[in-house]
Structure 1
Amino acid sequence: MRAQPGEIEWQVMWNRLIAVVEEQAQVLLRTAFSPIVREAGDLSAGLFDRRGRMLAQAVTGTPGHVNSMAEAVKHFIARFPLETMRAGDIYITNDPWMGTGHLNDFVLTTPCFHRGRLVGLFSCTSHLMDIGGLGVGPDATDVFMEGLYIPHLKLAEEGRLNATLMAMIEANTRLPIDTVGDTYSLAACNDVGCRRLVEMMEEFGLADLDALADHVCDRSEAAVLEQVAALPPGAWSYAMTVDGYDAPVTLRATTTVSGEGIHVDFSGTGPASGRGINVPLAYTTAYTVFGLGCAVAPRIPNNAGSLARLTVSAPEGSILNARKPAPVSSRHIIGQMLPDMVFGCLRQAIPDRVPAEGTSCLWNINLRGRAQDANGNHGFSMAVTSNGGTGARPRKDGLSATAYPSGVKGTPVEIAEALTPTLFWRKELRPDSGGAGRQRGGHGQVIEIASATGEPFEILAAFDRIHHPPRGRDGGRDGAAGAIRLASGATLQGKGLQTVPAGDRLVLLTPGGGGLGDPGERAADALAREVADGLVTPPGAPGAR
């Protein structure tokens, strides 16, 4: 019988698990067809034990994918019991309520076998550019309008691909080559994960992962409880109003710290919207616990153990716990505001560890054209990831043009222009957009786009912080509000499908982050550098912030 591993061996095996899942993610990153995956990293990858507990997640990935996928595998196990799984099986879904929040994210799960025994499951998620319906925008009035809905199904059985299902997927997208290719890339990365895990188990003489899984989860849970115990116990509330679709939406949260952990309750939050800005509870939970982790336990690995003591609730039927068949395509708009909600609560208990409000939600530029291309795609469709500024931090300025909390990278202009008939006339930091303060909020961007062929094109707008910009804190100024318009002068709506006319240009001004502290206390040399760099108007000049 193998002796119980010592502390060093446990640590070596843990580090190997991280290497395994990161290679899994890199395979997905390098084989994906969708540019939002291979260029921006909008994906997740992880290893789960036989109980459906997430043991390790890849460094590459987004919290919305990872932390909702953390629960998704349990739904696969419920639908396909472990004893029915066979080597070569692959399972798939894009169910927003049991996956990652909207139909454009495919979740694939693959059982891993070692010496004929099921030892764990690999799961992965990526964003697909088009799965039919109205497209990636908030215009739909129910989820069925938003695209192809795949329940928990077998994509492959004992190595035999489900050709009927693949044909259905291919027939329900404007980008059949990309969509089919992305599905294969998801399957491939899980296969690589399985091979690397088996190699690791052979090397360490492991017959199963049970003891290692318990060690990882128990240690992580204990570490989080230790961090929670160092916080002052109590309950703190916070509210935030954002633009919504056709009316403002107010979010409310109460965060309670106790000896059992931290619970965030969103009672008092507004009702579900009639348009696709609603958030399934899985996605609400994903970004809420990410915010808690950043503030309370940033150095503790993210897995089932560390997440166990961070819990979330939201009233059923609210915009943060929308019931099927509510439209949810643009769930990131509201969902990515939730770390700011957590920080707003915790700033009353640990003000030196949380930032001011930031842009938070991605300003993804979803562009679409109608002309069919030579590859059989029915027009072009692309999400150009872009971002505003983050909120100022207690000891540092906010980050400019940075996607927090999602963590995705910005799409390079060269990639967007190579894959679509568009031209980027401008993409630069937006002066005076970061909120003034002792620490300044991060700056947003100015982006100007035109058709390369002179044809009209569509923008599936899903933007926020236009009417309710990020708020400053402790005397810091608000960040600049976002804006969307045409170069000819017309103002566009922040949400909804709209057309950029032939010969005109789309102009976007992404928001800046809120400032922190009295602007009069800002270091003179820091202000001088900003003025010299053209990021801040000289003091006393018209429009100075």
Structure 2
Amino acid sequence: MGKSGNGSIAEIRMQVMWNRLISVVEEQALTLLRTAFSTSVRESGDLSAGVFDPRGQMLAQAVTGTPGHVNTMAEAVLHFMNEIPREEMFEGDTYVTNDPWKGTGHLHDITMVSPSFLNGELVAFFACTAHVVDVGGRGFGADAKSVYEEGIQIPIMKFAEKGRVNMDVVRLLRANVREPNQVVGDFYSLAACNEVGHRRLVDMMREVGLASLDDLGAFIFSRTREAMLERIAALPKGSWSNDLTTDGYDDPVRLAATVSIRDDHVEVDFTGTDPMSRWGINCPIIYSKAYACYALKCVVAPDIPNNSASLAFFTVSSPVNILNAVRPAPVALRHIFGHMVPDLVLGALAKALPGKIQAEGAGALWNIHISVRPTMLGEGRRAEVLMFNSGGMGARPGLDGLSATAFPSGVHTMPIEATEHTGPIVIWRKELRPGSGGDGEFRGGLGQIIEIAPLEGHEFDFSAMFDRVNHAARGRNGGEDGGAGVVRLDDGTRMRPKGWQHVPAGRRLIMELPGGGGYGDPARRSADSRAEDETRGYLMENDR
């Protein structure tokens, strides 16, 4: 009895420390959120943060952040460890890269890793990632023909050694980007983020008398493995395939996946997906894998912590194609197809688990990068403005889809006041788009209508990074498709869903974001739900 009691107390103690570890990485992420210079990080939470053991295994991640960053970071730390030998790691070091194939898939994401020492011993690594407003080159868009055109490439290297910042790196950054103060400021914010995590971890370990995280890591991973094995054992076994068509750049792109559920793991294979594109819409496998694992986790084990042990149950493979692009393919807009991967994987799982999987949604964020300039030289100001926008989620079995919600990326909506503050533009309208949610027993989420114009005396070019303009989100189980997206000027001129384009002075850019697909037979939607849709203005006039 006494032994059992001591065992229970030990387990409770470990659980408390696990919770403390999560609070450490959450404070780490919030430090970045509060100190970042770029609006996309500060206002939208386009970041990630996590703590890893000395072997590079992710112990805990912050809730704040995106799956694409967190799950790629879980693999990226191992690349840092391979590039920088242990004997060259010192207290006060911080390492950095934006290598798309060793980081998070494109050059705009900066990943920093810092070793954490206690009493001279390496006890952990802290890692964080954030999207910066500019990395030079052609800017954030699909128009480059190789990664060399897309911006400055930073191999895995030291940003700081023994607490001393490498000023050569800072000078190179300033010489290569359009917004040097914002970008360099974000580099320092990322470094501070890891430093805060290190300090909190060391404080915790000293408080509870830990010399290493070995026992806590063993506790975390063993509990996670047991829970994951139990969930996978309860799933049907077999293989199921799905495909979906996206807008692409010049031509539609087919994405394909086969999901195989085995006794003790789940496999995803992207064989059948279209070849790499000559445009910057390719996706390195590290990012495709991140979102495939996220989709699987949402279905298999949404309540089990995300760490190296849970991710180890998912394997992702692919021949070289648009979801497994190889260097030097252009990859700036890797997020578009990366964000489509969850719908692709969920479509296969819907065949394995009928009646349990949501309909397709808008998927990819409708990011827009705006380069504003005065029409008369010297009579205005230039600025680079990055804005994230969300369409509607697919309807769920038993629930309507969420409107204007960033699934699967999870970033926050950017306040229009914060966006207008970054450059000479006006956002005249930002509201839900009536009629964009697919009809069904459960309605798809609505997209948005966003209207943007340059301030008087200015014009702008914008990089369109949109999808589901020509291929709407599909409904499920008899639900109707969501509304397709529309990009146009206020005079009716249709714009392309991808590529750099021009908005002249005096004109307004109007974006009508796609809605999510409906779920179930529309004839079964309750009269109360339809009345509520009408009251809230969710329907088009001719649908009322």
Instruction: Normalising by structure 1, report the TM-score.
Output: 0.96
Identify the match of residue 508 of structure 1 among 490, 508, 511: 511
1:93 equivalenced with 2:97 (yes/no):
yes
What is the Cα deviation at residue 307 of structure 1? Answer: 0.4
Query: What aligned pairs does 1:269-348 form with structure 2 within 5 A after superposition?
Result: 269-316=273-320, 318-348=321-351
One-letter amino acid matched to 2:214: D
Match of 2:491 in 1: 488
- Written as runs of structure 1 = structure 2, the 5 A alignment for 1:17-32 is 17-32=21-36
Using a 3 Å threshold, how does the CA distance of structure 1 residues 395 and 3 change in structure 2: closer, same or farther? closer
Q: Distance in 1 between matches of 2:451 and 2:182?
A: 26
C-alpha distance 385-223 of structure 1, shift in aligned 2 (>3 A): same
Partner of 1:426: 429
Secondary structure of the corresponding residue to residue 348 of structure 1:
helix
Residue 77 of structure 1, aligned match among 55, 74, 81: 81
- After TM superposition, give the deviation of residue 227 of structure 1 in Å: 0.5
Q: Given that residues 441 and 518 in structure 2 are in contact (C-alpha distance below 8 angstroms), is that contact kept between their aligned partners in structure 1?
A: yes
Say yes or no: does 1:352 pair with 2:355: yes
**8 Å contact kept, 1:256–1:264:** yes
Q: Distance in 2 between matches of 1:84 and 1:219?
A: 34
Distance apart, 1:452 and its partner CA: 1.5
Which residue of 1 is the match for residue 409 of structure 2? 406
Larger displacement relative to structure 2 (180-189 or 216-225): 216-225
Change in Cα spacing, 1:265 to 1:402, as seen in structure 2 (3 Å) is same
Q: From 525, 535, 539, give the equivalent of 1:536.
A: 539
Cα deviation for residue 371 of structure 1 reads 5.2
Shift of residue 150 of structure 1?
Answer: 0.2
Distance 1:147 1:502 in 2: 28
1:81 deviates by: 2.0
Task: Tell me how far 1:107 sits from its aligned partner.
Answer: 0.4
**Residue pair 2:382, 2:423 contacting (<8 A) in 1 also:** no
| Contact 1:371–1:380 under 8 Å retained in 2 | no
Contact 1:93–1:99 (CA<8 Å) still a contact in 2? yes
Secondary structure in 2 matching 1:351: coil
Q: 1:76 to 1:4 in 2, by over 3 A?
A: farther
- C-alpha separation in 2, matches of 1:131 and 1:265: 32
Residue matched to 1:259: 263
The percentage of aligned residue pairs carrying the same residue is: 55
| Residue 471 of structure 2: aligned partner | 468
For residue 298 of structure 1, report the CA deviation from its aligned partner. 0.3
- Secondary structure of 2:373's partner? coil
> CA contact under 8 A between 1:221 and 1:307: conserved in structure 2?
no
The unaligned stretches of length 5 or more in structure 1 are: none
SS of equivalent to 1:456: strand
In the alignment, the residues of structure 2 paired with residue 408 and residue 232 of structure 1 have an alpha-carbon distance, to the nearest angstrom, of: 33
Q: 1:455/1:379 Cα in 2 relative to 1: closer, same or farther (>3 Å)?
A: closer
Give the conservation status (yes or no) of the 8 Å contact 1:384–1:410: no
Asked if 1:196 corresponds to 2:195, the answer is: no
Is 1:456 equivalent to 2:459 in the alignment?
A: yes
Match of 1:390 among 383, 390, 393: 393
- Equivalent position amino acid for 1:517 in 2: G
For the 8 Å contact 2:105–2:283, the answer to whether it is kept is yes
1:53-132 equivalence runs, <5 A: 53-132=57-136
1:44 alignment partner AA: S
CA contact (8 A) 1:219 1:305 kept: no
Check conservation: 2:449, 2:513, Cα contact below 8 A: yes
Structure 1 residues 454 and 524 mapped into 2: Cα distance closer, same or farther (>3 Å)? farther
Q: What residue is the counterpart of 1:8 in the other structure?
A: 12
C-alpha deviations, 1:272-306, integer Å up to 9, x for none? 00001100000000000000000110000000001
Alignment of structure 1 residues 119-268 onto 2, 5 Å:
119-268=123-272
- Looking at structure 2, the residues matched to 3 and 279 of structure 1 have their Cα atoms a distance apart, in angstroms, of 47
Code of the aligned partner of 1:72: A
The one-letter code sitting in structure 1 at the alignment partner of 2:274 is G
Structure 2 partner of 1:523: 526
Question: What is the DSSP-based 3-state SS (H/G/I as helix, E as strand, rest coil) of the residue aligned with 1:21?
Answer: helix
CA contact (8 A) 2:261 2:267 kept: yes
> In the aligned structure 1, how far is the partner of 2:185 from the partner of 2:509?
30
Shift of 1:420: 1.3
Report the aligned-residue RMSD: 1.6
SS at match of 2:152: coil
2:83 & 2:110 partners in 1: Cα distance? 17
Alpha-carbon offset, residue 204 of structure 1: 1.4
Distance 1:444 1:33 in 2: 28
Whole-angstrom distance in 1 between the partners of 2:488 and 2:234: 48
Measure the CA separation in 2 of the matches of 1:365 and 1:528.
35
**Secondary structure in structure 2 of the residue aligned to 1:12:** helix
What secondary structure does 2:429 align onto?
strand
The amino acid that maps onto 2:42 is: R
Asked if the contact 2:233–2:264 (Cα under 8 Å) also holds between the matched residues in 1, the reply is no
Q: How many angstroms apart in 2 are the aligned matches of 1:533 and 1:309?
A: 43
Provide the C-alpha distance between the structure 2 equivalents of 1:309 and 1:441, rounded to a whole number of angstroms. 31
Measure the CA separation in 2 of the matches of 1:47 and 1:73: 10
Q: Where in structure 2 are there 5+ consecutive unaligned residues?
A: 1-5
* Offset, 1:102: 0.4
Picking from 425, 443, 446, the partner of 1:443 is 446
Question: Any conservation in 1 of the 2:373–2:458 contact (CA below 8 Å)?
Answer: no
The TM-score, its normalising length taken from structure 2, stands at 0.96
The alignment partner of 2:458 has SS state of: coil
Cα displacement (A) at 1:382: 1.7
Quote the Cα distance in structure 1 between the aligned partners of 2:30 and 2:59.
Answer: 18
**Contact 2:56–2:78 (Cα < 8 Å) also in 1:** yes
SS in 2 for 1:353: coil
How far the C-alpha of 1:5 sits from its partner, in A, is: 7.2
Distance 2:483 2:52 in 1: 43
Q: How far apart, in 2, do the equivalents of 1:189 and 1:71 lie? A: 19
**Contact 2:381–2:424 (CA<8 Å) still a contact in 1?**
no
One-letter code of the match for 2:196? Answer: V
**Residue type of the partner of 1:397?**
D
Matches of 2:373 and 2:74, distance apart in 1: 37
1: distance between equivalents of 2:71 and 2:381?
33
